[in-house]
């Protein structure tokens, strides 16, 4: 048995603290996902036209792109426990206040504030959770944490839509706020002592430096995350449109199949990451993700689209969380915040820009060429970035 495997077997993972971390992650994710399908409709109910409503709904991603680096630096300078307590408090209050908005300007302000607190929570969640997981089991532990996020993404929108139908928008936003307050209840029992052990990390009282806002050594991983999230953004934006154009019924099964396969394989991927390293996961992940994009591009029936969902789960669904977990392992524990935020910069860039850029290609070449072309680019660029990063890590 290898040293890593032996150490991994001795390091405890499942205990009441880890269960609270999973609960915290689920509640935080569900709070946001409950409101995602409602914001645009709510804005239109307040009098906005479709374009304005869509812009309002996308404000959180734009805010996150700006806030994430500062959230990562903050998480490396201040107690992550109390950051999460106050960020979830602000997040919950903002979600509750959505229900009393009387016009678009007030809703815009709420979305901007919500985006700030959401970004701080998202970055700090990973850094905070990593403090309770043995380093040799970081991949496995954060793999289970990511499953909580996936579960929230799977059930959150349905809960939100059901509550909105039964009790209206205001009650739904109130319920989402209560989910965020529930995070605080899960966080408070966790004993957490913030320590500054590494001279390379951001010491309290010192001014921000570029290395505290962005981890340059993770640039290749940030770009890999941008590739994965770009594919995810394109699929999320255009899949329903393609299905309608090609007369493919029950396309919602795509996301069901994706979630089921991801939940089934994610724990094994985390263990593989801890034992064999990230690159053995990333090479097939980019190839599978690229194949999934190509199948979406050429798919003319539900069967091909569901096959694309499987490859998307094997690719983007495994690759992106593995990048996040490995980045936390590469840097010291004291820099877990900037590690998390650096990778999330790539995720936000892909989610925000890829659908917009893709729209120009759709107008000129059509959906098939756009998806297939991006699939080829994704495979080539991903493998090149893996080669560069592996050589960088070998030198160090």
- Domain limits, the chain: 1-191, 208-396
Q: Do domains 1-191 and 208-396 have the same CATH topology?
A: yes
pLDDT level of residue 187 (50, 70, 90 thresholds): very high
More confident residue, 84 or 197: 84
Q: Is the pLDDT of residue 189 over 60?
A: yes
- Across 373-389, average pLDDT: 95
Q: Above pLDDT 90, what percent of the chain?
A: 33
More confident residue, 211 or 130: 130
Cα separation, 272 vs 143, in Å, equals: 11
- Across 164-170, average pLDDT: 88
Q: Is the pLDDT of residue 356 over 80?
A: no
Whose CA is closest to 108, among 45, 55, 169, 51?
55
Write out pLDDT tens, residues 268-323.
Answer: 887 788 888 889 999 999 999 999 999 999 988 999 999 999 999 899 888 888 89
Q: Is the pLDDT of residue 62 over 70?
A: yes
Number of DSSP helices (H) and strands (E) in the chain, helices first: 16, 0
Predicted local confidence at residue 209, as pLDDT:
62
Predicted local confidence at residue 176, as pLDDT:
94
Q: Is the pLDDT of residue 4 over 60?
A: no
Q: Is 201 left (phi over 0), alpha (psi -120 to 50) or beta?
A: beta
Predicted local confidence at residue 202, as pLDDT:
45
Predicted local confidence at residue 210, as pLDDT:
64
Whose CA is closest to 157, among 57, 246, 262, 77?
57
Q: Is the pLDDT of residue 366 over 70?
A: yes
CB atoms within 10 A of CB 244: 11
Cα separation, 129 vs 137, in Å, equals: 12
When the pLDDT of each residue in the chain is averaged and rounded to a whole number, the result is 83
Cα separation, 315 vs 307, in Å, equals: 12
Q: What pTM was estimated for this model as a whole?
A: 0.73
Predicted local confidence at residue 266, as pLDDT:
77
pLDDT level of residue 207 (50, 70, 90 thresholds): low
Here the tokens at position 228 are 């994965």
Predicted local confidence at residue 82, as pLDDT:
92
CATH class of domain segment(s) 1-191: mainly alpha
Kindly report which listed range (27-36, 214-223, 346-355) carries the lowest average pLDDT score: 346-355
Predicted local confidence at residue 53, as pLDDT:
77
Cβ–Cβ under 8 Å, residues 260 and 150? no
Cα separation, 137 vs 161, in Å, equals: 37
- Across 364-390, average pLDDT: 93
Q: Is the pLDDT of residue 329 over 70?
A: yes
The answer to whether the Cα torsion of 305, 307, 309, 315 is positive or negative is negative
Cα separation, 368 vs 348, in Å, equals: 25
Q: What is the largest CA-CA distance in the chain?
A: 65
208-396 belongs to CATH 1.20.1250.20: yes
């Amino acid at each position: 048995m290898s040293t890593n495997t032996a150490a991994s077997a001795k390091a405890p993972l499942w205990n009441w603290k880890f269960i609270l971390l999973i609960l915290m992650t689920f509640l935080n994710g569900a709070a946001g996902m409950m409101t995602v399908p409602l914001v645009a409709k709510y804005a239109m109910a307040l009098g906005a036209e479709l374009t304005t409503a869509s812009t309002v709904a996308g404000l959180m991603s734009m805010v996150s792109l700006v806030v994430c680096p500062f959230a990562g630096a903050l998480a490396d300078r201040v107690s992550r426990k109390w950051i999460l307590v106050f960020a979830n408090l602000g997040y919950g209050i903002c979600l509750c206040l959505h229900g009393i908005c009387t016009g678009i300007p007030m809703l815009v302000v709420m979305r901007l504030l919500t985006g700030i607190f959401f970004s701080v929570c998202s970055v700090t969640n990973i850094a905070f959770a990593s403090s309770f997981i043995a380093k040799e089991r970081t991949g496995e532990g954060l793999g289970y944490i990511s499953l909580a996020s996936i579960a929230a993404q799977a059930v959150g929108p349905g809960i939100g839509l059901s509550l909105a139908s039964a009790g209206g928008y205001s009650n739904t936003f109130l319920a989402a706020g209560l989910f965020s307050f529930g995070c605080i209840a899960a966080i408070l029992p966790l004993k957490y002592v913030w320590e500054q052990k590494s001279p390379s990390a951001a010491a309290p009282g010192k001014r921000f430096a570029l290395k505290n806002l962005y981890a340059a050594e993770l640039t290749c991983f940030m770009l890999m995350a941008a590739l994965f999230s770009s594919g995810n953004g394109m699929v999320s934006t255009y899949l329903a449109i393609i299905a309608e154009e090609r007369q493919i019924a029950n396309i919602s099964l795509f996301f069901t199949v994706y979630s089921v396969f991801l939940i089934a394989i994610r724990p094994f991927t985390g263990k593989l990451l801890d034992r064999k390293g990230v690159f053995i996961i990333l090479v097939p992940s980019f190839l599978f993700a690229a194949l999934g994009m190509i199948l979406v591009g050429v798919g003319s029936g539900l069967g091909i689209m569901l096959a694309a969902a499987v490859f998307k789960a094997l690719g983007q669904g495994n690759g992106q969380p593995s990048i996040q977990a490995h980045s936390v392992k590469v840097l010291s524990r004291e820099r877990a915040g900037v590690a998390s935020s650096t990778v999330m910069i790539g995720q936000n860039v892909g989610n925000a820009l890829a659908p917009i850029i893709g729209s120009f290609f759709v107008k000129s070449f059509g959906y098939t060429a756009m998806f297939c072309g991006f699939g080829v680019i994704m495979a080539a660029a991903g493998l090149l970035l893996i080669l560069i990063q592996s050589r960088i890590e070998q030198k160090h």
